[in-house]
């Protein structure tokens, strides 16, 4: 369903996606459909499976992740299906990572326990006249079966019986990493420093903000300096004792990036070209630079970058 739901606005997803789902799968006997989900609530992890005849929820012994829970749910569903007569069954999950791992034939040094069991199970049942496509569905989009599985997964995390499994050593590494990230996030939220950047990047990540973007090194440099609020305009230089004024040379404003981009009379002619491009792309003018950076709208950011480079202001 990835192709069908791509581009649907967020506010329409819960209305449009169920229609798409129904049109694609309404011909399937509901008793042959299994919905799976994993959930983590207050440092507890569980999974749930929903089918017209099967409704179960379990808790996983810690450490555990939602990814492991998603795999556990798929494995449990297959263990139920194998007890049924050979037929065409459908298994729906909202975990793309689980589906990609199951479909992958690449060697995995530390393969999760449930992933290995899933592949073994599929090899057995597919050789015995079963057909079991594993299909992705978007989460929290009012698909009834998926919503029921989500409720069961949350119930499993809170009060479910433990579903036994061997725990791989790398799961303990993952748990340590999660605690470190949580501590970092708490520090980032409470610290007195870096509030400008926090308003732009409130959620910490081990991935650079520009990862996957086809942009130049200079673009990354300029945008990163704007995000950190550390650049060579007097608004910042005054804060670090390298300027004696907090007034723009034009005499009409505070010399920060918003003033330079939107109001400084020194750049009126160049700005008119920027505004024309802005309007052509359907974007608003006089938007705070902080908001442009926070929304990660790449065309918006590129227009900002080209304006800064065209006026020759060092950043």
Top-ranked range on mean pLDDT: pick from 69-78, 191-200, 233-242: 69-78
pLDDT band at 285 (very low <50, low <70, confident <90, very high): confident
Tell me what the mean pLDDT of segment 110-127 comes to.
Answer: 87
pLDDT band at 245 (very low <50, low <70, confident <90, very high): confident
**Per residue in 13-42, pLDDT tens?**
888 888 989 988 989 999 999 999 999 998
- What percentage of the chain reaches a pLDDT higher than 70? 98
**Per residue in 70-104, pLDDT tens?**
999 999 999 999 999 999 999 999 999 999 999 88
pLDDT of residue 240: 80
Are the beta carbons of 278 and 303 closer than 8 angstroms?
A: yes
| Average pLDDT value for the chain | 88
Coil, helix or strand at residue 267: helix
pLDDT higher than 80, residue 307: yes
pLDDT higher than 90, residue 128: no
Nearest to 31 by CA among 80, 79, 71, 95: 80
Residue with the larger pLDDT of the pair 300 and 314: 300
- What percentage of the chain reaches a pLDDT higher than 90? 45
pLDDT of residue 178: 78
280-287 contact pairs (CB < 8 A, 24+): 286/262
CA–CA distance, 61 with 175 (Å, rounded to integer): 12
**Per residue in 211-230, pLDDT tens?**
888 999 999 999 999 999 88
DSSP state of 85: P
DSSP state of 229: T
The tokens describing 145, both together, are 């079966």
Coil, helix or strand at residue 1: coil
pLDDT of residue 188: 93
Tell me what the mean pLDDT of segment 159-176 comes to.
Answer: 81
Domains and CATH numbers, the chain: 2-172 (3.30.420.10), 217-311 (no CATH)
Are the beta carbons of 134 and 75 closer than 8 angstroms?
A: no
pLDDT higher than 70, residue 107: no
């Amino acid at each position: 369903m990835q192709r069908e739901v791509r581009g649907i606005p967020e506010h329409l997803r819960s209305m449009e996606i169920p229609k798409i789902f129904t049109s694609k799968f309404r011909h399937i006997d509901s008793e042959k459909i299994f919905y799976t989900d994993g959930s983590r609530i207050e440092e507890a992890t569980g999974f749930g499976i929903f089918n017209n005849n099967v409704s179960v929820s379990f808790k996983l012994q810690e450490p555990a992740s939602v990814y492991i829970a998603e795999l556990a749910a798929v494995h449990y569903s297959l263990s139920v299906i194998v007890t049924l007569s050979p037929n065409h069954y459908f298994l729906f999950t909202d975990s793309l990572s689980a589906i990609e791992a199951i479909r992958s034939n690449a060697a995995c040094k530390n393969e999760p326990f449930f992933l290995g069991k899933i592949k073994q199970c599929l090899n057995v049942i597919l050789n015995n006249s079963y057909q079991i496509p594993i299909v992705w569905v978007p989460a929290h989009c009012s698909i009834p079966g998926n919503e029921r599985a989500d409720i069961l997964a949350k119930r499993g995390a809170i009060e479910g019986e433990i579903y036994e499994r061997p725990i791989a050593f790398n799961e303990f590494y993952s748990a340590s990493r999660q605690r470190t990230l949580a501590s970092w996030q708490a520090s980032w939220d409470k610290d007195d420093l870096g509030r400008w950047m926090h308003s732009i990047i409130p959620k910490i990540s081990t991935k650079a903000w520009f990862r996957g973007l086809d942009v130049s090194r200079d673009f990354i440099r300029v945008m990163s300096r704007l995000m950190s609020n550390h650049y060579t305009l007097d608004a910042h230089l005054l804060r670090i004792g390298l300027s004696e004024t907090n007034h723009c040379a034009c005499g009409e404003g505070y010399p920060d990036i918003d003033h330079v981009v939107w109001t400084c009379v020194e750049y009126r002619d160049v700005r008119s070209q920027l505004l024309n491009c802005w309007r052509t792309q359907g974007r608003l003018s006089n938007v705070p630079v902080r908001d442009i950076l926070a929304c990660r709208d790449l065309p918006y950011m590129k227009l900002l970058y080209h304006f800064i480079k065209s006026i020759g202001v060092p950043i």
